[in-house]
Structure 1
Amino acid sequence: MTVLGLLAGCSDDIGPTYTVEELIRDESLLSRILTECRNNPGDLGGASNCVNAEAADGKLRLQNMREALRN
């Protein structure tokens, strides 16, 4: 039973995987995932949600910069 728990803890497939667009639409979820990933990059840095959250964060930053330049 302990072995299964350890294996499950290492899996990237635990819980839902969010797309970049889903994370852009839900900034509170994006913030939560980014915090988790940045607090534990050794274990989570390559996880799908971490990669997607970093991409979503980058897109949001670019959108915000573009909007700021227009005003």
Structure 2
Amino acid sequence: MRVHFFCVFLFVLAACSKEAERVYTVDELIADEALLADVIGKCRHNSGELSNTLNCQTAAAADFRARLERM
């Protein structure tokens, strides 16, 4: 009975979990300027919640690298 309850609990917990957001690499963001602008825009629009996410940090690094390459 305990094993059955535990299995159901894990199934419900997994079903309620949020899907993971795709994390982009610096190279992907540099290659797609529209995607980079979109990610940076989202990060700046909601900086309180998103500033520490991997995509925002990667977008900042990609933006910095792209600016250095343009010099």
TM score, norm. by length of structure 1:
0.72
Alignment pair present for 1:18 and 2:24: yes
Identity of counterpart residues, as a percentage?
Answer: 43
Aligned residues: 56
CA distance in 1, matches of 2:49, 2:20: 13
Choose the corresponding residue for 1:33, options 29, 33, 39: 39
**Residue ranges of structure 2 left out of the alignment (5+ in a row):** 1-15
CA distance in 1, matches of 2:56, 2:67: 16
Choose the corresponding residue for 2:66, options 60, 63, 66: 60
Choose the corresponding residue for 2:52, options 8, 21, 46: 46
CA distance in 1, matches of 2:70, 2:25: 20
CA RMSD of aligned residues (A): 1.5
Q: 1:20-45, CA deviations, whole angstroms, 9 ceiling, x for partnerless residues?
A: 11100011000000000011110000
Q: Greater Rg, structure 1 or structure 2?
A: 2
TM score, norm. by length of structure 2:
0.72
Amino acid at match of 1:20: V
Partner of 1:69: none
